[in-house]
């Protein structure tokens, strides 16, 4: 019969415990990898949402600028029409004044 030293017996008895520790370490590493992957996916999703929000804001700003431009164009057209009407009335008044002057000199 072979005799085992105390160190050999301890190694034989502790080997299953070491294997359990290795399995736990592998499981922890796997869980850490999954957590890192989930974090990466969350970061990607947040970045995508930020890009979508920025695009939406840019679209809204563009729409607002276009609408403001249309309103300014309409207002400028209205002002030009009003100026034209005022000029026409001034012309009529000048003509009336000229006619009155002609009558006064007769």
Two tokens, residue 30: 């796997």
Tell me, what's the pLDDT at 50? 93
Q: Is the pLDDT of residue 75 over 70?
A: yes
Model confidence at 92, in pLDDT bands (50, 70, 90)?
A: confident
Model confidence at 49, in pLDDT bands (50, 70, 90)?
A: very high
Model confidence at 33, in pLDDT bands (50, 70, 90)?
A: confident
User: 18-38 in b/e burial notation, b at 16+ Cβ within 10 A?
Assistant: eeeeeeeeeeeeeeeeeeeee
Two tokens, residue 39: 């974090």
Tell me, what's the pLDDT at 54? 93
């Amino acid at each position: 019969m072979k005799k085992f030293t105390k160190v050999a017996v301890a190694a034989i008895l502790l080997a299953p415990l070491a294997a359990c520790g290795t399995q736990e370490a592998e499981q922890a590493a796997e869980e850490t990898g999954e957590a890192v992957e989930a974090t990466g996916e969350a970061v990607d999703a947040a970045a995508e949402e930020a890009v979508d929000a920025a695009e939406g804001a840019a679209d809204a700003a563009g729409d607002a600028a276009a609408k403001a431009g249309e309103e300014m164009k309409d207002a400028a057209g209205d002002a030009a029409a009003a100026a034209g009407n005022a000029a026409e009335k001034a012309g009529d008044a000048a003509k009336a004044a000229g006619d009155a002057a002609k009558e006064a000199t007769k």
